[in-house]
Structures are given as structure tokens and as C-alpha cells.
Amino acid sequence: MSDEITVHPVAWPPAPIRTERLVLRESEARDRAAIIELFASPEVNAYLGGPQARDELERALPETPEKRPGLFVVELDGAMIGTVELKQPDAEQRSQVSRDAGEAELGYLFLPQAWGRGYAAEACAAVLGWFADARPGEPVVLATQTANDRGMRLAAKLGFTEVKLFEAWGAEQWMGVWSSEASARSSAAL
Ligand SMILES: CC(C)(COP(=O)(O)OP(=O)(O)OC[C@H]1O[C@@H](n2cnc3c(N)ncnc32)[C@H](O)[C@@H]1OP(=O)(O)O)[C@@H](O)C(=O)NCCC(=O)NCCS
């Protein structure tokens, strides 16, 4: 049996997704500075293993940042403010984060100056909507440190429900799951 991680066969890249205030699109060369900012920021990486050295990022990042299926750059008024990614967990994470081997995992990273305006929620909801259209009924998982208040609040707002708590990477982690069907049921019940 192959140990390969199967990437969900979704059409990629999709046409840019437009929300009320944002555009979600594939990464481009002009996003490079904001991507470096994202990974070098102590605030953004407080619960993600800490920031990376800016000069190393400058050296290592290609002129055109990597384009990966499922990686959306979030743009506000023509400039990148964050990323939302739906990815397959890697082999190390799979046993911890996934309920089974195949679930897509949601991740979100926004520049601190864009926090507190609802942009992350707006962008993530659009990505989940896109995924629900592409892979109807398929669940999405998410893991974040329980100490990450903003990350936890956003997960709850998006409709993720708790699967388990677990210890990993030196901290307590929360794992949640979302599916379009469960999300529609709970909205209908409100
Ligand atoms: C996690 C993260 C994306 C959350 O960002 P955020 O801006 O707090 O999230 P939201 O988009 O849900 O915005 C919520 C806030 O916007 C406020 N807001 C203002 N205008 C709003 C609007 N028009 N609509 C909705 N909310 C609005 C809300 O009241 C809320 O404020 P509060 O934080 O004071 O409660 C951000 O903190 C981040 O990038 N953290 C670092 C990366 C990380 O830890 N990721 C998690 C691991 S995957």
C-alpha cells in the first residue's frame, strides 16, 4: 500500500474569490514582503513555534513565493494581509491532527495590523464555502494551541466543534472539526 499523502482533487487555482471586503487568490511575486513579515512576526508566531529570522527568510524565499494548491493569499485594497490554507497534514502531523489520514486541515495567518476587524473570519468562511462546493460533505479539521485565544475564538465562530485535546509541540492543542452539513444544521437550529 502506498504511503503517499493524497491531495484532494480540487481544481486549482480557482478564479479569485471575492467577499464583501476581500479578494482571495493564489500567491504572486508582489506578496513576498508581506509573507516575510508574516513569518518574522513575533505576534503572529507566538503559538506557532516562534518567529523566523528575517534575514534567513530574505535569503530562502524565492522571488515568487511558492504556489501550493489550497494556499490562498488574502488581499485588502490591493495588498496582502494574510493567508488561509487548506492542506493535507504531513506525515508527522497526521497521527496527531487528523481523525483519519485524509482530512484537509485549515490554517490561518494574518498580519497583526489586520486583526480585530473580522477579516480572518470573512476569509476563512469563504474558503470553507469554496471547499464545500468542491468536496461536498467532506470534513475539515483544525488544530491550535488552547492558549491561542484569538485562534480559538475564530475556530468557534466558523463552526468548528471540539474533537479532542492533545499535547504536542510542547503545549496543549485543541482539535476541532467542521463540515458544511453540520454547519448548515447548527445555523438552521439558531
Ligand atoms: C487567529 C487570527 C487569524 C484571528 O484574527 P482576528 O482578527 O482576531 O479574527 P476575526 O477575523 O475573527 O476578527 C475578530 C475580531 O474582529 C472584530 N470585528 C471588527 N469588525 C468586525 C466585522 N466587521 N465583522 C466581524 N468582526 C469584526 C470582532 O469584534 C473581533 O474582535 P475581538 O478580537 O476584540 O473579539 C489572528 O490572530 C492571527 O493571525 N494569529 C496568528 C496566527 C495563528 O495563531 N493562527 C492560528 C493557528 S491555525
CATH number at residue 31: 3.40.630.30
Cα 112 to ligand 1 centroid, rounded to whole Å = 9
Q: What is the pLDDT of residue 169?
A: 86
One-letter amino acid of 54? R
* pTM, to two decimals: 0.91
Distance CA 145, CA 66 (A): 26
Residue 174 near ligand 1, beta carbon < 6 Å: no
pLDDT at 97 exceeding the cut of 70: no
In a domain, 179, yes or no: no
- pLDDT single digits (tens) 105-130: 999 999 999 999 999 999 999 999 99
Candidate from 117, 122, 142, 145 with most ligand 1 atoms within 8 A of CB, to mutate = 117
Q: What is the pLDDT of residue 100?
A: 57
Per the structure, the complete domain to which residue 122 belongs is given by: 5-136
Distance CA 121, CA 112 (A): 14
In a domain, 142, yes or no: no
In a domain, 115, yes or no: yes
Q: What is the pLDDT of residue 184?
A: 73
In a domain, 178, yes or no: no
Q: What contacts 78, CB < 8 A, 6 or more positions away?
A: none
Residue 120 near ligand 1, beta carbon < 6 Å: yes
Cα 120 to ligand 1 centroid, rounded to whole Å = 6
Q: What is the pLDDT of residue 180?
A: 86
In a domain, 168, yes or no: no
Residue 109 near ligand 1, beta carbon < 6 Å: yes
Evaluate whether 163 touches 99 at the Cβ level (below 8 Å): yes
- pLDDT single digits (tens) 5-61: 344 567 889 999 999 999 999 999 999 999 999 999 999 999 999 999 999 999 999
In a domain, 119, yes or no: yes
Residue 115 near ligand 1, beta carbon < 6 Å: yes
Total structural domains within the chain: 1
